[in-house]
Structure 1
Amino acid sequence: MDKVVNGVREAFQSGRSRSLQYRKQQLRALYKLITERQADIADALKQDINRSMFDSTLFEFIGLENDIKLAESHLDDWAAPQPVRKNLGNAFDDVYIKPEPFGVVLIIGAWNYPWALTLQPLVGAIAAGNAAVVKPSELSEHSARLMNELLPQYLDKEMYRVVTGGAPETQELLKERFDHIFYTGNSTVGKLVMEAATRHLTPVILELGGKSPCYIDKNCDIAVACRRITWGKFMNSGQSCIAPDYILCEPSIQDRIIEEIRNTLREFYREDAKNSPDYCRIINTHHFDRVMALMEGCTIAFGGENDRSQCYIAPTVLRDVLPHYRIMQEEIFGPVLPIITVNDLSEAINFINKKEKPLALYVFSSDKKVIKRMLTETSSGGVAVNDVMIHYTVNSLPFGGVGNSGMGRYHGRHTFDQLSHHRACVIKSFALEGFNDARYPPLTAARLGRAKLALQNRLCSCSAMCVWAVISTMVAIGLLVALLVVLL
């Protein structure tokens, strides 16, 4: 690993990634990879998780293509020095923030969306001028193998390296010094990544997960709410970090919710989801066993059918789940949806706030007061009202967690900003040295007063000319007065 990382660092230190033209060329090459090899990528996803071409396009390709096009078209603006407000003391200086690359970024991808969740961070790393070591998840083995094959064919293979393998290879990588680490996965491994990063004081972005709650208010269109929740929960067989993890509702509407979800599932996957081309599989038998074990002791409203040989678990809804049940102690990450009943909105809010802060929060209500209370009295990485997961698709919004669900954010410009060092720059001239007298000894009360004035008066970045005009006018007036005194 040392040889790999040192090779990438040497490529970065050559300076070629500082050129915006180089970055754009690499972004175009990545776009070409995604568009030219979609059939191969979709085939790998089919083998990994039984995902259809339609879902691969919807959940992997579209977001990636949009992020690449956005980065290329706006890169000049994103990378430009950003003027800032000044104070009176530096009114004549150039004061700005200059986005600069960190250096070598380690990107550790996830298996549930192995292309989008690995390459979207890479888009930002390239745009920001970084080099990168990419570690795809070994669980999506066909995608990892294909990524290792394709990236060197399209990208600068010295600047962007792929490392395959499992936990041992990841652990070896984490022993190396990187300038930034971007990890997508679960909080248990996230803590290990953060611990490893502390050895080199490396900044991290952790995109984790958690139990994202979904509150359904009795004052809403329950049929539409359940239709949207069913889509978000059972797509990718529930293996999405922002899938609704559980439903909170009043007891009076629990049966209606169950029936609406059952009807929607029939519409989406017919009578037998196992034979639907649109229904995915659990990634492997380990996770199959984990999800099945979570349901022990629960009351199944419908579903529960399974086939370990195919890693298949039918869309399942659990009713009357209690907070102490095992399924409520960890993120489900599978096609099982528990329903917990609460007496009112306040109880729902208290339930949410007693748990770790989730990556996403979903609220379904037609009552603006209910929505306002949920937004005001809870905390989450993101929130969607009367829909699920859709906030992920808006690349002008930051995507990321809070607390146990992660740190840092990405998508669109946010990825560029997170993977750039924002360097503070002040450039002065040797002129007007008299303005600096207030900071030099001998220190007097008068000088302290002038220094305080200079530091407290804030000017916008374009105000130097205004200040210069005022001072020039004052000097001109002073000279005119002196001349009049002499003449008189």
Structure 2
Amino acid sequence: MNIKEILCKQRNYFNSGQTLGLDFRLDALKILKAAIVKYEKEILAALKSDLNKSAFEAYATEIGTVLEELNYALKNLPRWMRIKRVGTPVLHFKSTSYRVSEPYGISLIMSPWNYPFQLTIAPLIGSIAGGNCSVVKPSAYSPATSAIIAQILGECFEQHFSAVIEGGREANQALFDERFDYIFFTGSVSVGKTVMAAASKNLTPVTLELGGKSPCIVDKNVNLDLAARRIVWGKFLNAGQTCVAPDYLLVHRDVKRELINGMQKYILKFYGRNPCENEEFPRIINLKHFNRLRGYLNHGVVLIGGDCNENRLRIAPTIVDNIDWENPIMQEEIFGPILPLLEFSDISEVIQAVNSRSKPLALYLFTTSKEVESRITQSISFGGGCINDTIVHLATSKMPFGGVGESGMGSYHGKWSFDTFTHTKSILKKSNMIDIKLRYPPYGNKLKILKKLFGL
């Protein structure tokens, strides 16, 4: 069945009203959850094949987070779907007002290769909870995971409700040529611009979960050992192929040497003396990205790591010093296990440097100073972040996750996923018993009365 046929069947199915009921949505989410539990081993094997993810890392960052999102949606969806009564201004007496969350219709979900299971299924949960039909396009760069996603969703749902389209750029272009009611894209800034351009042809609303250069700031007032441990974990998780990974490190010159020593200690502890041979350390997704990352090592001074294994597509956790803002590694998101260092002497330097560039998807600050914490969080715009940790701000269903500016638009997780995939429809119901004549012409000297009703 081609894309046009799938969309035709989905539109007919959506228009039939089958997806609108609470029971239908809950049943679909339960079916999806059961299938994920059933195919846990196969999902783990696919993630091992595509990215060499260990079972622990794959479950923690992919399967576990998806199941948590499913449980949260199953528990809260009845409340999310309720009609919300709101107050009505006296000017509209006698009336009642309420809000209804209605599905958009057919949503297109395009996911990346770095967390190929989680970043496909998490937005799908929102689409299903919202009452939409869905077309899912996983990344061609992670073929094993794309295949198991197609198998799972194929067993769970008919294509007229949820369909998977596999393939590369040709499949993407074919999807861009069609009209959807909502597009949810996770990926690079450059492809995000292409998605938004395609959406503009039909004025289709979009959510763009992109990326950018997310700073990690280490103040002089800090628990250095804890900072080193948490930075190393967050940066080298999934071999740095994480959209919210610390992209570069801004460290106060007074603690720079001690922080480097701490990171070296934890890199050795976590990944051993030869990380390229460590079977728990993920690999770079393909040779193209491997060569791009290896090219960064020609600049600056490698303090830690720098080892590369082309046959295994591995690059060891690497710390690079003697970097400035004009260096090639500072011109685009690194998306790999290389962490450049820049030092500062006053926090105002950090604020000026970060604010002079595109708004980051994430920001991480390590400090024990309330003043520094307040200055950074209030002076810099960013999608989200952590104080004294990395990455974990997105691992919750109780806060939205999303970017700002070039790092993205829109947000999801938990209730925000439901809100993203639904339109809030406002309705005012007017009584037929009373009809105040004030609003009708002729207006004469009614202006004073009108101002009083406005409370002016």
TM range (shorter): over 0.9
Match of 2:417, SS state, is helix
Q: Does 1:362 align with 2:364?
A: yes
Q: Is the 1:87–1:456 contact (alpha carbons within 8 Å) kept by the matching residues of 2?
A: no
Aligned residues: 454
Match of 1:394, SS state, is coil
In terms of fraction of residues, the more helix-rich structure is 1
AA at the equivalent of 2:260: I
Percent identity for Structure 1 against Structure 2? 38
Match of 1:310, SS state, is coil
Q: Is the 2:400–2:416 contact (alpha carbons within 8 Å) kept by the matching residues of 1?
A: yes
Alignment of 1:224-303 (within 5 A): 224-303=226-305
Q: Does 1:158 align with 2:160?
A: yes
AA at the equivalent of 1:255: R
2:10 corresponds to which residue?
8
1:438 corresponds to which residue?
438
1:338 corresponds to which residue?
340
Q: Is the 1:64–1:116 contact (alpha carbons within 8 Å) kept by the matching residues of 2?
A: yes
User: 1:110 & 1:75 partners in 2: Cα distance?
Assistant: 27
Please state how far the C-alpha of 1:4 moved relative to its aligned partner.
Answer: 2.1
User: 2:275 & 2:36 partners in 1: Cα distance?
Assistant: 29
Match of 1:16, SS state, is coil
User: 1:399 & 1:24 partners in 2: Cα distance?
Assistant: 23
AA at the equivalent of 2:170: P
Match of 1:86, SS state, is coil
User: 1:126 & 1:94 partners in 2: Cα distance?
Assistant: 30
Please state how far the C-alpha of 1:94 moved relative to its aligned partner.
Answer: 2.1
1:213 corresponds to which residue?
215
User: 2:269 & 2:280 partners in 1: Cα distance?
Assistant: 12
Q: Which has the larger radius of gyration?
A: 1
Alignment of 1:384-395 (within 5 A): 384-395=386-397
2:306 corresponds to which residue?
304
User: 2:300 & 2:321 partners in 1: Cα distance?
Assistant: 8
Please state how far the C-alpha of 1:258 moved relative to its aligned partner.
Answer: 1.4
- Which residue of the other structure, out of 345, 348, 351, is the alignment partner of 1:349? 351
Alignment of 1:14-413 (within 5 A): 14-413=16-415
Q: Deviations over 1:290-334 (max 9, x none)?
A: 111122222100111111111100010001211110000000000
User: 1:454 & 1:10 partners in 2: Cα distance?
Assistant: 47
Q: Is the 2:276–2:307 contact (alpha carbons within 8 Å) kept by the matching residues of 1?
A: no
User: 1:66 & 1:16 partners in 2: Cα distance?
Assistant: 26
AA at the equivalent of 2:449: R
User: 1:305 & 1:369 partners in 2: Cα distance?
Assistant: 40
User: 2:9 & 2:311 partners in 1: Cα distance?
Assistant: 43
1:465 corresponds to which residue?
none
AA at the equivalent of 1:250: H
- TM-score when normalising by structure 1: 0.91
User: 1:266 & 1:295 partners in 2: Cα distance?
Assistant: 20
Please state how far the C-alpha of 1:91 moved relative to its aligned partner.
Answer: 4.1
Q: Is the 1:49–1:283 contact (alpha carbons within 8 Å) kept by the matching residues of 2?
A: yes
Match of 1:83, SS state, is strand
User: 2:7 & 2:312 partners in 1: Cα distance?
Assistant: 38
User: 1:456 & 1:196 partners in 2: Cα distance?
Assistant: 46
User: 1:395 & 1:449 partners in 2: Cα distance?
Assistant: 50
Please state how far the C-alpha of 1:456 moved relative to its aligned partner.
Answer: 4.6
User: 2:238 & 2:226 partners in 1: Cα distance?
Assistant: 20
Q: What residue ranges of structure 1 are gaps of 5+ in the alignment?
A: 458-488
Q: Is the 1:304–1:314 contact (alpha carbons within 8 Å) kept by the matching residues of 2?
A: yes
User: 1:244 & 1:385 partners in 2: Cα distance?
Assistant: 13
Please state how far the C-alpha of 1:455 moved relative to its aligned partner.
Answer: 4.5
Q: Is the 2:276–2:309 contact (alpha carbons within 8 Å) kept by the matching residues of 1?
A: no
- TM-score when normalising by structure 2: 0.97
Q: Deviations over 1:265-307 (max 9, x none)?
A: 1111122212323210000111101111122222100111111
AA at the equivalent of 2:58: S
Q: Is the 1:127–1:416 contact (alpha carbons within 8 Å) kept by the matching residues of 2?
A: yes
User: 1:121 & 1:455 partners in 2: Cα distance?
Assistant: 42
User: 1:13 & 1:151 partners in 2: Cα distance?
Assistant: 21
User: 1:283 & 1:112 partners in 2: Cα distance?
Assistant: 8
Q: What residue ranges of structure 2 are gaps of 5+ in the alignment?
A: none
Q: Is the 2:303–2:321 contact (alpha carbons within 8 Å) kept by the matching residues of 1?
A: yes
Please state how far the C-alpha of 1:171 moved relative to its aligned partner.
Answer: 1.1
Q: Is the 1:138–1:164 contact (alpha carbons within 8 Å) kept by the matching residues of 2?
A: yes
Q: Is the 1:320–1:341 contact (alpha carbons within 8 Å) kept by the matching residues of 2?
A: no
Please state how far the C-alpha of 1:128 moved relative to its aligned partner.
Answer: 0.5
User: 1:61 & 1:456 partners in 2: Cα distance?
Assistant: 54
Please state how far the C-alpha of 1:253 moved relative to its aligned partner.
Answer: 2.2
Q: Is the 2:218–2:365 contact (alpha carbons within 8 Å) kept by the matching residues of 1?
A: yes
User: 1:178 & 1:101 partners in 2: Cα distance?
Assistant: 12
User: 2:443 & 2:62 partners in 1: Cα distance?
Assistant: 63
Please state how far the C-alpha of 1:73 moved relative to its aligned partner.
Answer: 1.4
Match of 2:99, SS state, is strand
User: 1:11 & 1:147 partners in 2: Cα distance?
Assistant: 22
- Which residue of the other structure, out of 418, 421, 429, is the alignment partner of 1:419? 421
AA at the equivalent of 1:380: F
Q: Deviations over 1:463-486 (max 9, x none)?
A: xxxxxxxxxxxxxxxxxxxxxxxx
User: 1:15 & 1:449 partners in 2: Cα distance?
Assistant: 48
Match of 2:27, SS state, is helix
After TM superposition, which residue ranges in structure 1, 4 or more long, deviate above 6 angstroms? none
Q: Deviations over 1:421-479 (max 9, x none)?
A: 1001011221112x2x0011221223x3334444459xxxxxxxxxxxxxxxxxxxxxx
User: 1:100 & 1:58 partners in 2: Cα distance?
Assistant: 33
User: 1:389 & 1:84 partners in 2: Cα distance?
Assistant: 37
User: 2:285 & 2:94 partners in 1: Cα distance?
Assistant: 61
Q: Is the 1:26–1:156 contact (alpha carbons within 8 Å) kept by the matching residues of 2?
A: no
User: 1:322 & 1:295 partners in 2: Cα distance?
Assistant: 14
Q: Is the 2:6–2:160 contact (alpha carbons within 8 Å) kept by the matching residues of 1?
A: no
User: 1:390 & 1:88 partners in 2: Cα distance?
Assistant: 46
User: 1:244 & 1:186 partners in 2: Cα distance?
Assistant: 16
Match of 2:136, SS state, is strand
2:449 corresponds to which residue?
450
Q: Is the 2:29–2:74 contact (alpha carbons within 8 Å) kept by the matching residues of 1?
A: yes
User: 2:158 & 2:452 partners in 1: Cα distance?
Assistant: 52
Q: Is the 1:45–1:56 contact (alpha carbons within 8 Å) kept by the matching residues of 2?
A: yes
> Which range moved further: 75-84 or 172-181?
75-84
